[in-house]
A and B are shown apart, each in its own frame.
Chain A
Amino acid sequence: MSRSYLFIPGNVPRMLQNMDIYEADALIIDWEDSISINEKDEARDLTNAYLKKMSPSQDLYIRINSEPGLYDEDLNLIKTLNITGVVLPKSDVSTLKKLTEDLKNTSLKIIALIESPHAFFELEKIAEIDCVEALFLGGEDLSSALGAKREALGEALMFARSKIIMAAKAYHKKCIDTPWPTNNESDFYIDLNLSVKLGFDSKACIHPNQVLPINEAFSPSKLIIKEAKKIIAMHKKTGKMRFSLDGKMIDKPIIMRAQSLIKKAIQYNIIKGENDDL
């Protein structure tokens, strides 16, 4: 499970070259909005050249173009690259079904970028599609489409965020929150805290300096890990799925949550193993 998704423009050599060092859990090379129409070929060529030499250890996605023509050229190259999957902008049921069909002989995963009002009326159907591994809120395009003003407190996107989280959780898909678009640190932290509180699994960003705060915010805290370890230890000791611990009733969902939390803590290198001291 990735906590952070870092966007890297596909036509900037220095950024491509260094994208693997910023400690993001997943990387998204962008061929869409950050690349002007006359630089699309350059972005494809640079990405192709880079991936022939380097293979980052992180999950690697490419945000392709959805416009006919560009879409086809992107897919032709995508199928030859060693990547994790594709981010489809302006996703809806029909475009996702087409992409699923176009990628049927590959193992590429799909992240559905939800950024049009129309997509929200078919969100459940989008979440149902097998190849879709995550729902990703595209906050900037959606705000523009709605005529809403996006601010750190997040009122403009509250409904959209909640709906995406509901749909993703209902269909066991990951949900990724939209990037905070400016370098204003205090606004970024307000926006990030909101992402965590609402229940997103992860957040995307466009600036590498936002990666570590995102990773930290989506990592279990040491206190929570300690509690989870106590729960698992008691469960192992008693062999029971229901018991009392420090005055609280513990049952199956809580034990399972504790187990998944410890798994995350190991994955994120916070602890080395279940018995590791904090």
Chain B
Amino acid sequence: MIYKSVEDVFNAFDIKNGATLSFHHHLRNGDEVMNQVLKTCLDLDLKNMNLAPSGIFPVHKNLAKMIEEKRVNHLTCNYLNGPSYEAINQSLLQGTFTMHSHGGRARAIKEKDLTIDVAFIAVSACDEKGNATGLEGNNIMGSLGYAIEDSLHAKTVILVTDTILQSINCPQIKSEQVDGVLLLESIGDSKGIVSGTLKITKDPLGLKIARDTMKLLSATNMIQNGVSFQSGAGGISLAITKMFNDYLKHKNLKASFYTGGITSHHVQALKEGLVETLYDVQCFDLDAINSLKDNDNHLFMSAHDYANPNNPDRKIKDLDIVILGATEVDLEFNVNVTTDALNRVMGGSGGHSDTSEDAFLTVIVSPLLKGRMPLIKDKVTTITTEGQFVDVIVTERGISVNPKRKDLLDLLKHSDLNIMSINALQEMAHTLSGKPKPLKRSNDVIGQIENRHGKIIDYLYKKE
């Protein structure tokens, strides 16, 4: 059945006060689907709604409005950036705000810790039966990896699209799972999927960190035929990805797989035969989308296949190396990518804590000073990833290895790398910047951080 308005869907499926609605974030800051659905909630005066988007972006202004008008009960997501935070910080949410990881969300949905009444799944194209893809249509988004668990386990599944085709080749979501199709004039703007910089950093400090990270990887002897690798879409991570590719080429080696969010730099490695397979849960640019469409070794995967901790076949279980960023790190190697220096939520785990826990080698890369703020705190403002899963911190002034990784410390003992304790690294930062006064915060809890297994590992506190 094809519906022509959000309200028609609400009427047809009897969406009422207290329902749990889910959304995915593959269109990132170009998404209009959540806004349009929530506008209908506002128009219909719905209250006590539970919302479970996988990611929240600045574009999602109607979510902020819903929270401000006290229409939202529980809210969960894996990432939050934008005006919704301000409303959450004012304690206007009626229920609980919970931040998951990508793998944790997939687990929670599959194991019914998170029950979804209606999943509104933006797709770039589908057929009338409900077979759907992210690879064709007006607003292509590539992999629909984060929406698959929603499509399999939500009580009602509504595809939302602006393009209906006669048939869909190799659908990512199959019609058997789908209860209806909502045809809108536009689902948003796929240009908004571009994440972060997506350009290799030219900052000499970032490049120095990238070079030292490559020296570290080389010194561990882990870059061999069959190595598996994941890196993010930030400028330093992309520089490392390029250097990693160059290293493979120079040594005539081939990686087994790259995983996670895929960019043109990962695609280039596949084209050059430097890696066997790309496992793609999320496309970060047009090159990645086109490659997913055309290259048989560029494979789509769901968040469950990617990172669900209770899936014994999850891809990151076999991940050798992951490169990740940090807003803050502490002396216990805990990492924060959720809140900023002023204790405002501006991100979230995404796959950070999933990959850290599973990868053999987890490397955090970051400048030692961010502006004048030292990276290394006595205690992070918010724990996103627990220190027990973090192996190495690479900064421009030195590298710290988690003392629990005695194997790495032994391996690097005779290297030329500037290895030092995390306390020494912190002291070095304080020599340059002075020791900042601890941030005053209230004791009012506005949210909680759940690890991928469903355990609460930290709380978010109201910013004064």
Which residues of chain A have a CB within 8 Å of any CB of chain B? 17-18, 21-23, 53-54, 207-209, 211, 269
Known contacts A53-B431, A209-B207: A18-B396 contact under CB 8 Å: yes
A25 to chain B, nearest CB (A): 16
Q: CB-CB < 8 A to B207: which residues of A?
A: 209
Interface of B is mostly: helix
Chain A facing B: main interface SS: helix
Can you list 14 A-B contacts (CB < 8 A)? A17-B369, A18-B205, A18-B396, A21-B396, A22-B204, A23-B208, A54-B431, A54-B432, A207-B204, A208-B204, A209-B204, A209-B207, A211-B204, A269-B416
Q: Can you name the residue of chain B whose Cβ is closest to the Cβ of A53?
A: B431
Q: Is the CB of B397 within 8 A of A21?
A: yes
Question: For residue B251, which residues in chain A have a CB less than 8 angstroms away from its CB?
Answer: none
The smallest beta-carbon distance between B375 and chain A, in angstroms, is: 14
Query: What's the nearest-Cβ distance from chain B to residue A231, in Å?
Result: 28
A17 proximity list for chain B (CB < 8 A): 369, 432
Question: Least Cβ distance of A30 to chain B in Å?
Answer: 17
**Which residue of chain B lies nearest to A13 when distances are taken between CB atoms in the complex?**
B372
Q: Is B406 an interface residue (CB 8 A)?
A: no
B381-406 CB contact bits vs A (8 Å, 1 = yes)? 00000000000000011000000000
Decide yes or no: A22 and B432 within 8 Å by CB, A17-B369, A209-B202 being known contacts: no
Q: Are A21 and B432 in contact (CB under 8 A)?
A: no
Q: Which residue of B lies closest to A183 (CB)?
A: B202
**Please, what's the 1-or-0 string for B200-239, where 1 marks a CB less than 8 Å from any CB in chain A?**
0010110110000000000000000000000000000000
Summed over the interface, the residue pairs from A and B with CB atoms below 8 Å come to a total of 22
- Tell me if B369 and A21 are in contact (CB < 8 A): no
Nearest B-chain residue to A21, judged by Cβ: B396
The smallest C-beta distance from A46 to any residue of chain B, in angstroms, reads 13
| Contact between B431 and A22, CB atoms less than 8 A apart | no
A269 CA / B202 CA spacing, docked (Å): 26
Residues of chain B contacted by A209 (CB below 8 angstroms): 202, 204, 207
Q: Which residues of B contact A207 (CB under 8 A)?
A: 204
How far is it, in angstroms, between the C-alpha of A255 and the C-alpha of B205 when the chains are bound?
Answer: 41
Nearest Cβ distance between residue B367 and chain A, in whole angstroms?
9
Which residues of the other chain, A, contact B397 by a CB distance below 8 angstroms? 21
Which residues of the other chain, B, contact A211 by a CB distance below 8 angstroms? 204
> Which chain B residue lies CB-closest to A210?
B204
With a 10 A CB-CB cut-off, give which of A21, A53, A208, A269 has the most chain B CB atoms.
A21
Q: How far is A21 from B207 in the complex, measured between Cα atoms in Å?
A: 11
Q: Which residues of A contact B208 (CB under 8 A)?
A: 21-23
Closest chain B residue, CB of each to CB of A6: B204
Q: How far is the CB of A29 from chain B (nearest CB, A)?
A: 16
CA–CA, A211 to B369, complex, Å? 22
- Nearest-neighbour CB distance to chain B for A267, whole angstroms, equals 15
Q: Which residues of A contact B205 (CB under 8 A)?
A: 18, 21
Q: Quote the shortest CB–CB distance from B222 to chain A (angstroms).
A: 24
Closest to A209 in B: B204
Enumerate chain A residues within 8 angstroms of B432, measured Cβ to Cβ. Answer: 17, 53-54
Instruction: Report the separation of the CA atoms of residues A251 and B129 in the bound assembly, to the nearest whole angstrom.
Output: 87
**19 further A-B pairs in the complex, CB-CB below 8 A; given A23-B208, A54-B431, A209-B207:** A17-B369, A17-B432, A18-B205, A18-B396, A21-B205, A21-B208, A21-B396, A21-B397, A22-B204, A22-B208, A53-B431, A53-B432, A54-B432, A207-B204, A208-B204, A209-B202, A209-B204, A211-B204, A269-B416
